[in-house]
Amino acid sequence: MRIDYAATARAIASLTDGETDEVALMATVVCELHHADDRFDWTGFYRVTGPEMLKIGPYQGGHGCLQIPFARGVCGAAARTGQVQLVDDVDAFPGHIACASSTRSEIVLPVTGAGGTLLGVLDIDSDQPAAFDAADAAALEGILRDVFGDVKKY
C-alpha cells in the first residue's frame, strides 16, 4: 500500500489539533506515517538535545541508533544543512550510519518549530532501494510544517 498524503495529513491534523508538546506530536505523526505505507520500514524522529547532537525520539520499527552527532550520517546531514536528504542507496552515502542492516534507502527531513528553531529530524528508512522521491519530500515537508510550525522549544 502507498500512502495517501492528503488523507494522512488530514488525520494527523485532526489528532494533533491543539497539542503543543513536541514529543506527543512526534509520537502521533510517526505512528500515522509508519502504518500508512509499506515502503516505511523504520519511521522516527531524532530530537535536538544538545549542541550538534540528535537523540532518538518517538519511532516505529526496530531499534534505532540512540544518538547521532550532526557531523555523521544522513540524519546529521539533514540537521547540519537544514535540507531534505533523499538517499536512493545508503551504501553509497559517505558516512552512512547503519542502525539497521535492512535499510536500503531513506529520506530525512529537518523539523523546525516557531521562528525556524531546529527541533530534530524525521527519518524514514526503507528496505527497498530508491524508495523515496521529491513528491514524498514535498508532502512530508507540508505535514511537518503544519504540525510543528508553531511549536516553541522549552
pLDDT at 142 over 80: yes
**pLDDT for position 6:** 98
**pLDDT for position 144:** 97
Query: Is residue 10 in a domain?
Result: yes
Query: Is residue 154 in a domain?
Result: no
CA separation, residue 40 to residues 17, 37, 83, 135, 147 (Å): 25, 6, 20, 15, 20
Q: For residue 101, what pLDDT band results from cuts at 50, 70 and 90?
A: confident
Amino acid at 16: T
Query: Is residue 14 in a domain?
Result: yes
| Secondary-structure breakdown of the chain: helix, strand, coil percentages, each rounded to the nearest 5 | 35, 25, 40
| Range 85-104 average pLDDT | 85
Alpha carbon distance, N-terminus to C-terminus of the chain: 38
Q: For residue 4, what pLDDT band results from cuts at 50, 70 and 90?
A: very high
Structurally, the chain folds into a number of domains equal to: 1
Residue 89 · residue 64 · CB < 8 Å: no
| Range 104-126 average pLDDT | 95
Within 13 Å, how many C-alpha atoms sit on residue 38's CB side? 3
Q: For residue 150, what pLDDT band results from cuts at 50, 70 and 90?
A: confident
51-89 pLDDT, tens digit each: 999 999 999 999 889 999 999 999 999 999 999 999 999
Q: Report the CATH number that the domain containing residue 113 is assigned in CATH.
A: 3.30.450.40
pLDDT at 99 over 90: no
Report if pTM > 0.85.
yes
pLDDT at 154 over 60: no
Query: Is residue 113 in a domain?
Result: yes
Look up the domain containing 116 and give its range.
5-148
Query: Is residue 153 in a domain?
Result: no
